[in-house]
Amino acid sequence: MSGPRLLVTGRELAPGQREEILQVAPGAEVAVVPVLDLDDPTHRELLSAAEVVAGELTDEQAKLAERLRWLHLWTAGADTLPPALLGSGAAITSSSGNGAVPLAEHAMMLMMMLDRDVPRAFRAQQRSEWDRFRHGELAGATLGIVGLGRIGAELAVRARAFGMRVLGVRNRPDRPVEGVERVYGPAELRTMLPECDFVVVTAPLTPATRGMLGEAEFRAMKPTARYLCVSRGALADTAALLCALREGWIAGAGLDAHEVEPLPADSPFWTLPNVVVTPHHGATTPGTPRRGFEILLAGLGAYLAGEELPNLVDPAVGY
């Protein structure tokens, strides 16, 4: 029984995963090339023959994928699609949801670090200084989640477990989300912001969301509020965020995602006393790639059955 030619790139398969693919797609030809090298004739041949690719492609690589019918991204975001792919007719799916659990946990960690001023405690520890001080607690605080997709929904559940009041913004405000007291539309973002003690951005990066938090939005927040980003740094205007932190429009920030990555060594965010920086590793857990692989398997089953693929990306929307 013949199956599709599947090219896996961008990672190795874990032990047993090739067998899992063949259980779903008996007869599939599975090639694994962690790093595609177009100077290698074998790699070019595999790419040209592939019906399905799991991984990311550059524009040059996409042009060579002549038989491609479906590209599955290992990433949850789909903001780096090559132009050559957009007009190819190939279906595109993402691994959206693969990192929802650890990113929600990471956001909770950042909120607690900021609320309890853990950086101050670390500085005191380095000085061997017994520095007791009054800090906040999350119970009773209001959280505003910008983007109520899978990450936002997971975060809402965890925040409610901490006794927080949860508000949120999403494109379809008519669709309720468990644990969210009120859902606002994107045009109502500035209406929600003054209510919040914490604002966490979990939205994808699209033309519509790029720079959606600028000076007006940061000035609309409470001076005691904290801003956190665990999805894409470019959702905020970096210059406006920097002013907000330096001039006291807001009290602090927890930044896992940054507009430029790696965050440059001379970035002022590294040394601001009211900022916690992490290196976009909120989802770097063993469970994240496993969930991405399970999404691929589900998609492969749907593909072979002629059904709609899960996590189908609309390039016009950006997710």
Give the domains, in start order, of the chain with CATH numbers.
Answer: 5-97+286-305 (3.40.50.720), 100-277 (3.40.50.720)
Alpha-carbon separation of residue 292 from 103, 154, 227, 302 (angstroms): 14, 17, 28, 15
Q: In what order do the strands lie in the sheet containing 252-255? A: 182-184, 165-169, 142-146, 198-201, 226-229, 252-255, 275-277
Q: Is the pLDDT of residue 121 over 80?
A: yes
Per the prediction, the chain carries an average pLDDT of 96
Which residue type does 207 have? P
What percent of the chain clears pLDDT 90, i.e. is strictly above it? 93
Q: Is the pLDDT of residue 1 over 70?
A: no
**Strand 198-201 with 226-229, pairing:** parallel
**86-120: b or e for each residue (b if 16 or more CB lie within 10 Å)?**
eebebbbbbbbbbbbbbbbbbbbbbbbbbbebebe
Question: Which pLDDT score is estimated for 278?
Answer: 98
Per annotation, catalytic residue among 150, 232, 258, 291 = 232
What is the pTM for the complete model shown?
0.93
Per annotation, catalytic residue among 5, 43, 258, 280 = 280
Question: Which pLDDT score is estimated for 82?
Answer: 87
Q: Is the pLDDT of residue 306 over 70?
A: yes
Question: Which pLDDT score is estimated for 81?
Answer: 87
Question: Which pLDDT score is estimated for 250?
Answer: 98
Q: Is the pLDDT of residue 316 over 90?
A: no
- Across the range 292-296, mean pLDDT stands at 97
Alpha-carbon separation of residue 192 from 149, 257, 268 (angstroms): 18, 22, 28
Question: Which pLDDT score is estimated for 88?
Answer: 83
- 238-263 pLDDT, tens digit each: 999 999 999 999 999 999 999 999 99
Q: Does 307 qualify as catalytic in the annotation?
A: no
Q: Does 280 qualify as catalytic in the annotation?
A: yes
- 160-198 pLDDT, tens digit each: 999 999 999 999 999 999 999 999 999 999 999 999 999
Between CA 46 and CA 260, with CA 75 as vertex, the angle to 5 degrees is: 115
Give the separation between CA 114 and CA 122, rounded to whole angstroms.
Answer: 12
Q: Is the pLDDT of residue 2 over 80?
A: no
pLDDT band of residue 319 (cuts 50, 70, 90) is: confident
Cβ atoms of 167 and 195 within 8 Å: the answer is: yes
Q: Is the pLDDT of residue 315 over 80?
A: yes
- Across the range 126-150, mean pLDDT stands at 97
At which residue do the structure tokens 């003690």 appear? 197
Alpha-carbon separation of residue 297 from 45, 91, 233, 303 (angstroms): 24, 15, 30, 10
pLDDT band of residue 38 (cuts 50, 70, 90) is: very high
Q: Does 29 qualify as catalytic in the annotation?
A: no
Per annotation, catalytic residue among 66, 188, 261, 308 = 261
pLDDT band of residue 86 (cuts 50, 70, 90) is: confident
Cβ atoms of 54 and 296 within 8 Å: the answer is: yes
Give the separation between CA 204 and CA 12, rounded to whole angstroms.
Answer: 26
Question: Which pLDDT score is estimated for 228?
Answer: 98
Give the separation between CA 241 and CA 225, rounded to whole angstroms.
Answer: 13
